[in-house]
Amino acid sequence: MTLVEKGSTFFFFYLLYVQIAGWSSLVARRAHNPEVAGSNPAPATNPLTGSKGKPSMKLSKITLTFVLTTLLMNCTNNDEALMEQANELAQKFIITDGHIDTPWRMHKGGYEDISVRTPGGDFDYVRAKQGGLDVPFMSIYVPASYQVTGGAKDKADELIGIVERVTTDHPDKFEIAHSVSDAERIVAEGKIALPMGMENGAPLEGDLSNLKYFRKRGISYITLTHAEDNDICDSSYNLGERTHNGLSEFGVEVVKKMNRIGIMVDISHVSDEAFYQVMDVTEVPAIATHSSCRHFTPGWERNMSDDMIKRLAENGGVIQINFASYFVDQPSKDSKGPIDADVSKYVADNNIDPQDYAAYDSYRKEQYDKRFLYVDAARVVDHIDHVVDLVGIDYVGFGSDFDGVGYTLPTDLKGPEGFPIIIYHLLKRGYSEEDIEKICYKNIWRVWQATEDFAKDFCDCGKPKGECGGGMCSN
């Protein structure tokens, strides 16, 4: 919005200024010009007009000072009121975040007590409560390296165990949510619900029966792949020859069975070809748990194109906007590559194990602090605007990627305490409370519930209940 955009606060005061200036000019001309009706050919001396009857500099300054002072006071008061409303709405609505990498953070750096405010990391109980985050999906992230070394399933189990430990250590604050009804009950009890999503389908290890296994362990969505092609589909990060040109035959069966046992299909990280093939296969809406709009990062396949967002909306799905600066802004993304290259060189030059994150984290942070181009929360809201402009209010949500994008979060969005700032920008742009409630949780919960409802007609082995003795099979 420009300062003089019609309907803006400034526009009102701009018109006021124009009216005052015009009135002053008319008075001056009437006082000095015989041709103007009602004029006085012998005007009395007016300290606010010059010798030729024109508004003096003093009058102009007084008028301008009045208008600008009133404008600034009004804007300040309006901003404060909107921020107060944003804080209230953050506590009123059930905020759901599609992707938070706290389990991997604790895997890397050691287990932490996240029931208190932690010195590092992005997520903890205190900051979540402060910002109104009620239902953060914990990411069970398994790197693509485990597709080569083996052990992907064991690594997923280990990370699930971290989430379970958090809930066991702090049962008054956290509880794992296996379903929409679980999440609703947990939030009503004043706790934070922790549903889980598995980032990378590698832990299935080529065995469809592992879908049932992970569903029982609490997995509510699976991101089909990550940084490399796997046996399910191709990755958006693979810039070379694609393994499957989309979904593999196994991947098709994975998507079908995920539908039937109630696991949401996450298409973040997949190649464009894989995305469109998922849309053709899935019988329920899909989600993109932590992606943004390619419109702002042209050519970057990790984000979704306008056509993909439209197809996802036709499917009934939801894109949950990633908050990282380089996901939402091209100049920021451009600044990231050289920093990462220098960090990699530093690691190699100093014979540091790349997995020993603590050994080079201070250098990495120093480089980001000096050289990275950060955005603020308004840029994240630009992406929400873009989705809404394309397909409407029902297909967008939050997918922060807290604890998963390093030192790249926006300046005013470093953790869940920042959710009211996003809501503030939404209010400032004219979103209604009903709209904001949909973005906060209703959109993604609609997909979550639809996935559960579809699965009710199937046994947890993935077969129709009529073929499995009413769903009591042992498969």
Element holding 337 (H helix, E strand): helix 330-349
The dihedral built from the CA positions of residue 404, 409, 415 and 421, taken in this order, carries a sign that is negative
DSSP 438: I
Contact 136, 192 (CB under 8 A): yes
| Pairing of the two strands 95-100 and 196-199 | unpaired
- Tens of pLDDT, residue by residue over 237-275, are 999 999 999 999 999 999 999 999 999 999 999 999 999
Q: What confidence score (pLDDT) does residue 7 get?
A: 46
CA dist 12 and 215 (Å) reads: 56
Residue 105 has pLDDT above 90, yes or no: yes
- Tens of pLDDT, residue by residue over 399-455, are 999 999 999 999 999 999 999 999 999 999 999 999 999 999 999 999 999 999 999
Mean pLDDT, to the nearest integer, of 24-43? 44
CA dist 242 and 273 (Å) reads: 10
Confidence of residue 461 (pLDDT cuts 50, 70, 90): confident
Mean pLDDT, to the nearest integer, of 67-72? 57
Q: How far is CA 341 from CA 336, 347, 368, in A?
A: 9, 10, 12
Mean pLDDT, to the nearest integer, of 63-92? 78
Mean pLDDT, to the nearest integer, of 139-154? 97
- Phi/psi for 471 (5° steps) reads 90, 15
Confidence of residue 467 (pLDDT cuts 50, 70, 90): confident
CA dist 307 and 321 (Å) reads: 16
Contact 297, 333 (CB under 8 A): yes
Confidence of residue 39 (pLDDT cuts 50, 70, 90): very low
CA dist 321 and 376 (Å) reads: 14
Tokens coding 326: 């380089």
Report how far Cα 114 is from the mean position of its chain's Cα atoms: 22
Percent of the chain having pLDDT more than 70? 83
Q: What confidence score (pLDDT) does residue 465 get?
A: 81
Q: What confidence score (pLDDT) does residue 194 get?
A: 98
CA dist 214 and 348 (Å) reads: 37
Q: What confidence score (pLDDT) does residue 23 get?
A: 45
3-state secondary structure of 455: helix
Mean pLDDT, to the nearest integer, of 119-127? 97
Mean pLDDT, to the nearest integer, of 448-467? 88
Q: What confidence score (pLDDT) does residue 432 get?
A: 98
Closest CA to 268 of 316, 300, 231: 300
Confidence of residue 125 (pLDDT cuts 50, 70, 90): very high
3-state secondary structure of 228: coil
Largest CA distance in the chain: 106
**Can you point out the beta strands (E) in 18-160?**
95-100, 133-141
Confidence of residue 32 (pLDDT cuts 50, 70, 90): very low
Mean pLDDT, to the nearest integer, of 455-459? 91
Q: Which of 5-19, 27-41, 447-461 has the lowest mean pLDDT?
A: 27-41
Confidence of residue 463 (pLDDT cuts 50, 70, 90): confident
- Tens of pLDDT, residue by residue over 311-352, are 999 999 999 999 999 999 999 999 999 999 999 999 999 999
Half-sphere exposure of 17 (CA within 13 A, CB side): 19
Strand partners, 135: 96
pTM of the model: 0.84
Residue 121 has pLDDT above 70, yes or no: yes
CA-based R_g, the chain, Å: 28
Strand partners, 95: 133
Confidence of residue 20 (pLDDT cuts 50, 70, 90): very low
3-state secondary structure of 290: strand
Q: What confidence score (pLDDT) does residue 59 get?
A: 54
Residues 6+ positions from 238 with CB-CB distance below 8 Å: 228, 229, 271
CA dist 248 and 238 (Å) reads: 15
Contact 156, 146 (CB under 8 A): no
Helices (H) and strands (E) in the chain, counts: 18, 10
**Can you point out the beta strands (E) in 309-407?**
318-321, 396-398
- Tell me how crowded residue 369 is: count the other CB atoms within 10 A of its CB: 10
3-state secondary structure of 288: strand
Give the chain's mean pLDDT: 89
Residue 68 has pLDDT above 60, yes or no: no
Measured in residues, the chain has a length of 475
- Phi/psi for 46 (5° steps) reads -120, 120
